[in-house]
C-alpha cells in the first residue's frame, strides 16, 4: 500500500513539474516543428519499436529539422544532410557533449569511457591515447599482419566447413574480436588459433548484442527524472547485471595480462607493445591537462573498444554478403575485379584494397543502406542556439537520423536500391566518402565526436568483405531463395540483422591458398 501511494505521489509531482515547465517555457523564436506531445511522457509513444524508422516517417510530415518532447527533455532530430551539417559542422562545438543517460551511468563506468565522457580535458586525453596508440596510420600499419592472420584463420575455418551451413555473423564476430584482442591485449580472446570457436565466443556475442539492445531503449527514467527510481521498464536493473558480467570479463583479461607480464597469448612474439601494456605504462605518465589514467578508465576504454569495435564491423560485412547474395550480377562483378587485381594464387592483403575500386563502392553502398549506428549517439546543446531560424534550447538532446539521411529521395536516386555504381566515376556520388566530410552518408558520424575507430573499421570491413568474396562462392541453405532473403532489422543501438545469415561457403581457389 505504501509503495502504491509513493508511486501516485511521484506521478503527481511529475505532472506538476511538467505543467510548471510548460507554463514557464517562453522562447525568443519558435521551436522546430514536430508532433504534439502527450502530458508527462511527451512524444515517447511516437518512437515505436524501431525509432530510426518512426522518426524518418515523422520527418516526412514535419520536415528535416524536428522537435520532440521526450518526458521533460527537448529533443531535436536532424533528418537531412544539410541539417546534419548545421549541427555537426557549423555548431559542432556546441554539440560536443553527451546528455545524461542510464547506459553511460550503469554500463560505461559512470561516464568514465571515451564514448560517453563529457567533452573536456579527460575526453581529449582518452581520445589522444586511442588516436596515437591504436588508430594512427603507423599503429594500423604496425598491426596489419595481425588482421591478415586472423582473416586467414577465418578462411581456413570456412574452407573446412564442408557441406555444413555456417552462421556467418558469429564467425565474423570471433575474427574481429580476436584481431582487436591481439592488438589490445597481445592475445586472442576466443579460440586457439585453429578457427575453432569456444563457448565464450557465443556468450560474448550475446553480451554485446544485449548491450546494444539496452543502449537503444529510450528509458523513461532518462527523460522523466522523478520516475527514474521506479525503473518501469527494468532497463537499469538489466544494465547493472550486464555491467557486472562485462566487468568480470575485463577483470579476468587484466589479471591474465598481469600474470603473463604483458606477453599475451602469442608467447611474447608480438612485434609491437599491445594497447593494455601501453595504457598501464601511461597510468602515471599521461601528458597534458587530463591528469593520470585510472584503472577504471582503462577498463572503460577496453569496454568501448570491445563493444564498438567488433560487432559493428562484423555486422556490416554480414549485411554486405547478404546484399550481394540478392544481387548476383554485382557479386560477379566484384569477384571479376578481385581475380584481376589479386589473382587466384594468393589471398587478399590490405595492400590490395586501394586498387579494388568496385569493392570499395560495394562497402560504401553497404554503409549507406545499413549504417552500423542508424541513429547517432545523442549529443547535447551546451548553450542556446539557432538552427535554420528555429530556437534550440540549452540542454536539448540532438539525434541525427543517419539511416534516414542515407535514404533521402531528394539526395539519392532509387534510394532503397543496392547500387554500388553510384559511387563510381560517372555515378551520382563519385567523390562521396564515409569519413564524415560528406553528410549524405555518415555511418561513423562527423565532427569532434566522430567514431574514433573509423580508420580501423574501414580497413577491417574492406579486408573481410574482399577476402570472403575472393576465396568463396556462397550458397544459401537448401530451400531458401536469394531474392526472398530476410533483410529485416533487429531493434537496438546498432543495426543487427533480425535473422542471422546462414550460408554455405564453397572454396573457389586452390587449397594451398587457404594455408598462406
Which pLDDT value is given to residue 6?
Answer: 47
Which pLDDT value is given to residue 163?
Answer: 79
Specify the range with the lowest mean pLDDT, choosing from 182-191, 349-358, 442-451. Answer: 182-191
Nearest Cα neighbor of 367 from 305, 310, 444 is 444
The yes-or-no verdict on residue 268 having pLDDT over 50 is no
The x, y and z cell numbers of residue 32, run together, are: 522546430
Pairing of strands 397-400, 73-78: parallel
Strand blocks (E) in 314-426: 379-380, 385-387, 390-392, 397-400
- Gap between the Cα atoms of 390 and 399, Å rounded: 16
Number of domains in the chain: 1
Angle between helical axes of 311-326 and 357-369 (0-180°, round to 10): 110
- Gap between the Cα atoms of 64 and 79, Å rounded: 5
Torsion (CA) 274, 493, 297, 127 in degrees, nearest 10 = 70
User: Residue 268: how many CB atoms within 10 A of its CB?
Assistant: 10
Asked if 44 and 71 touch (Cβ cutoff 8 Å), the reply is: yes
* Domain span at 225: 2-515
The yes-or-no verdict on residue 199 having pLDDT over 80 is no
The yes-or-no verdict on residue 251 having pLDDT over 50 is yes
Nearest Cα neighbor of 204 from 236, 242, 239, 167 is 242
Nearest Cα neighbor of 266 from 181, 385, 151, 373 is 181
Angle between helical axes of 454-471 and 357-369 (0-180°, round to 10): 120
Pairing of strands 73-78, 65-70: antiparallel
Q: What's the CA angle centered on 101, arms 114 and 120, to 5 degrees?
A: 40
Mean pLDDT on 384-406? 97
The yes-or-no verdict on residue 13 having pLDDT over 70 is no
The x, y and z cell numbers of residue 481, run together, are: 531463395
The yes-or-no verdict on residue 202 having pLDDT over 90 is no
Q: What's the CA angle centered on 390, arms 17 and 398, to 5 degrees?
A: 65
User: Residue 254: how many CB atoms within 10 A of its CB?
Assistant: 17
Asked if 302 and 114 touch (Cβ cutoff 8 Å), the reply is: no
Confirm or deny that 130 is annotated as ligand binding.
no
pLDDT digits 0-9 by tens, 269-299: 456 778 888 888 887 665 655 567 888 999 9
Q: The domain spanning residue 441 has which CATH number?
A: 1.10.630.10
Q: Where are the alpha helices (DSSP H) in 390-474?
A: 402-405, 454-471
In this structure, what are the phi and psi dihedrals at residue 82, rounded to the nearest 5 degrees? Answer: -65, -40
By 3-state DSSP, what share of the chain in percent is helix, strand and coil, each rounded to 5?
Answer: 50, 10, 40
- Gap between the Cα atoms of 401 and 56, Å rounded: 7
- Gap between the Cα atoms of 153 and 474, Å rounded: 18
3-state secondary structure of 16: helix
Three-state secondary structure string covering 180-206: HHHHHHCCCCCCCCCCCCCHHHHHHHH
Average pLDDT, the chain: 89
The yes-or-no verdict on residue 82 having pLDDT over 90 is yes
Amino acid at each position: 500500500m505504501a509503495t502504491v501511494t509513493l508511486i501516485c505521489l511521484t506521478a503527481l509531482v511529475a505532472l506538476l513539474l511538467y505543467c510548471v515547465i510548460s507554463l514557464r517555457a517562453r522562447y525568443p523564436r519558435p521551436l522546430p516543428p514536430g508532433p504534439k506531445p502527450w502530458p508527462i511522457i511527451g512524444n515517447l509513444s511516437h518512437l515505436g519499436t524501431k525509432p530510426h524508422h518512426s522518426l524518418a516517417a515523422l520527418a516526412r510530415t514535419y520536415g528535416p529539422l524536428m522537435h520532440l518532447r521526450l518526458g521533460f527533455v527537448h529533443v531535436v532530430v536532424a533528418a537531412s544532410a544539410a541539417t546534419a551539417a548545421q549541427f555537426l559542422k557549423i555548431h559542432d562545438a556546441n554539440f560536443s557533449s553527451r546528455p545524461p543517460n542510464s547506459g553511460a551511468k550503469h554500463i560505461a563506468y559512470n561516464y568514465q569511457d571515451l564514448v560517453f565522457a563529457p567533452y573536456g580535458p579527460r575526453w581529449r586525453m582518452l581520445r589522444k591515447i586511442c588516436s596515437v596508440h591504436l588508430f594512427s596510420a603507423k599503429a594500423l600499419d604496425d598491426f596489419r599482419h595481425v588482421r591478415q592472420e586472423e582473416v586467414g584463420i577465418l578462411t581456413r575455418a570456412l574452407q573446412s566447413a564442408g557441406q555444413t551451413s555456417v552462421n556467418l555473423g558469429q564467425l565474423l564476430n570471433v575474427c574481429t574480436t580476436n584481431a582487436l584482442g591481439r592488438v589490445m591485449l597481445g592475445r586472442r580472446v576466443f579460440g586457439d588459433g585453429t578457427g575453432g570457436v569456444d563457448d565464450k565466443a557465443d556468450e560474448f556475442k550475446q553480451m554485446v548484442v544485449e548491450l546494444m539492445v539496452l543502449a537503444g531503449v529510450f528509458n523513461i527514467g532518462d527523460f522523466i527524472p522523478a520516475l527514474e527510481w521506479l525503473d518501469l521498464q527494468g532497463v537499469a536493473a538489466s544494465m547493472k547485471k550486464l555491467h557486472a558480467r562485462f566487468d568480470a570479463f575485463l577483470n579476468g583479461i587484466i589479471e591474465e595480462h598481469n600474470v603473463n607480464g604483458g606477453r599475451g597469448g602469442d608467447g611474447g612474439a608480438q612485434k609491437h607493445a599491445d594497447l593494455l601494456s601501453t595504457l598501464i605504462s601511461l597510468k602515471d605518465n599521461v601528458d597534458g591537462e587530463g591528469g593520470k589514467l585510472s584503472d577504471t578508465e582503462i577498463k572503460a576504454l577496453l569496454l568501448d573498444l570491445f563493444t564498438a569495435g567488433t560487432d559493428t564491423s562484423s555486422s556490416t560485412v554480414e549485411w554486405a554478403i547478404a546484399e550481394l547474395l540478392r544481387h548476383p550480377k554485382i557479386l560477379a562483378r566484384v569477384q571479376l575485379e578481385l581475380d584481376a587485381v589479386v589473382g587466384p594464387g594468393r589471398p587478399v592483403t590490405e595492400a590490395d584494397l586501394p586498387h579494388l575500386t568496385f569493392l570499395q563502392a560495394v562497402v560504401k553502398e553497404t554503409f549507406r543502406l545499413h549504417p552500423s549506428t542508424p541513429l547517432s549517439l545523442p549529443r547535447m546543446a551546451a548553450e542556446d542556439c539557432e538552427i535554420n531560424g528555429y530556437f534550440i534550447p540549452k540542454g536539448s538532446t540532438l539525434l541525427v537520423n543517419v539511416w534516414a539521411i542515407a535514404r533521402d529521395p531528394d539526395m539519392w536516386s532509387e534510394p532503397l536500391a543496392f547500387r554500388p555504381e553510384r559511387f563510381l566515376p560517372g555515378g551520382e556520388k563519385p567523390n562521396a566518402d564515409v569519413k564524415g566530410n560528406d553528410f549524405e552518408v555518415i555511418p561513423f558520424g562527423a565532427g569532434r565526436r566522430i567514431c574514433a575507430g573509423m580508420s580501423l573499421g574501414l580497413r577491417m570491413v574492406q579486408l573481410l568483405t574482399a577476402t570472403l568474396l575472393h576465396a568463396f562462392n556462397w550458397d544459401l541453405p537448401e530451400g531458401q531463395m536469394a531474392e526472398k532473403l530476410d533483410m529485416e532489422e533487429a531493434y537496438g543501438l546498432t543495426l543487427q540483422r533480425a535473422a542471422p545469415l546462414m550460408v554455405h561457403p564453397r572454396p573457389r581457389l586452390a587449397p594451398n591458398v587457404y594455408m598462406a
